[in-house]
């Protein structure tokens, strides 16, 4: 899955999708998709990631209390 790193505007390849969908995980393992060489994996905060279209990540991926907020 590719997401956009909002502060830099670069694409990020998410390496652990389970971590991405887990609302208890505040960060995901990924790597920048910049340049010709494969970049080293690093942790990215979910709050800094958006879809390439500019949409925010779903609340259920970011907030473990998402059901409480929707009432």
C-alpha distances in Å from residue 5, one per residue of 10, 11, 34, 65, 67? 5, 6, 12, 24, 26
Chain segment 29-58, per-residue pLDDT in tens: 999 998 788 899 999 999 999 999 999 999
C-alpha gyration radius of the chain: 13
pLDDT value at 71 more than 60: no
**pTM assigned to the model:** 0.84
């Amino acid at each position: 899955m590719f997401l956009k790193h909002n502060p830099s505007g670069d694409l990020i390849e998410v390496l652990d999708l389970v971590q991405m969908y887990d609302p208890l995980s505040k960060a995901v393992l990924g790597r920048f998709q910049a340049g010709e060489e494969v970049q080293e994996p690093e942790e990215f905060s979910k709050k800094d990631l958006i879809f390439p279209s500019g949409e925010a990540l779903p609340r259920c991926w970011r907030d473990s209390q998402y059901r409480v907020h929707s009432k």
